[in-house]
Chain A
Amino acid sequence: GEDVEQSLFLSVREGDSSVINCTYTDSSSTYLYWYKQEPGAGLQLLTYIFSNMDMKQDQRLTVLLNKKDKHLSLRIADTQTGDSAIYFCAESITRDSNYQLIWGAGTKLIIKP
Chain B
Amino acid sequence: DVKVTQSSRYLVKRTGEKVFLECVQDMDHENMFWYRQDPGLGLRLIYFSYDVKMKEKGDIPEGYSVSREKKERFSLILESASTNQTSMYLCASSFLAYGDNSPLHFGNGTRLTVT
Interface membership of B101, Cβ < 8 A: yes
- Binary interface encoding of chain A residues 23-53 relative to chain B, with 1 for a CB under 8 A from any of its CBs, else 0: 0000000110101000011111100101000
Closest Cβ–Cβ distance, residue B42 to chain A (whole Å)? 4
Known: A42-B4, A43-B90. A103 touches B100 (CB 8 A): no
* Pick from B4, B99, B106, B109: contact of A101, CB under 8 Å: B99
Known: A99-B97, A105-B40. A45 touches B108 (CB 8 A): no
- Which of the four size classes fits the interface of chain B? 20 to 34
Q: Which residues from A are CB-within-8-Å of B100?
A: 30-31, 92, 99
Closest Cβ–Cβ distance, residue A57 to chain B (whole Å)? 18
Q: Secondary structure of the B side of the interface?
A: loop
Whole-angstrom distance between the alpha carbons of A43 and B108 in the complex?
8
Q: Secondary structure of the A side of the interface?
A: strand
Question: Count of A-B contacts with CB under 8 A?
Answer: 59
List the B residue with the shortest CB-CB distance to A4: B42
| Inter-chain contact B103/A45, CB cutoff 8 Å | yes
* Pick from B40, B56, B90, B101: contact of A8, CB under 8 Å: B40
Residues of A within 8 A of B (CB-CB), count:
25
Closest Cβ–Cβ distance, residue A60 to chain B (whole Å)? 20
| Inter-chain contact B98/A106, CB cutoff 8 Å | no
Residues of B within 8 A of A (CB): 4, 40-45, 56, 90, 92, 97-101, 103-104, 106-109
Q: List 9 A-B contacts (CB under 8 A).
A: A35-B104, A42-B4, A42-B107, A42-B109, A43-B92, A98-B98, A99-B97, A99-B99, A103-B42
Residues of A within 8 A of B (CB): 4, 8, 30-31, 33, 35, 40-45, 48, 50, 88, 92-93, 98-101, 103-106
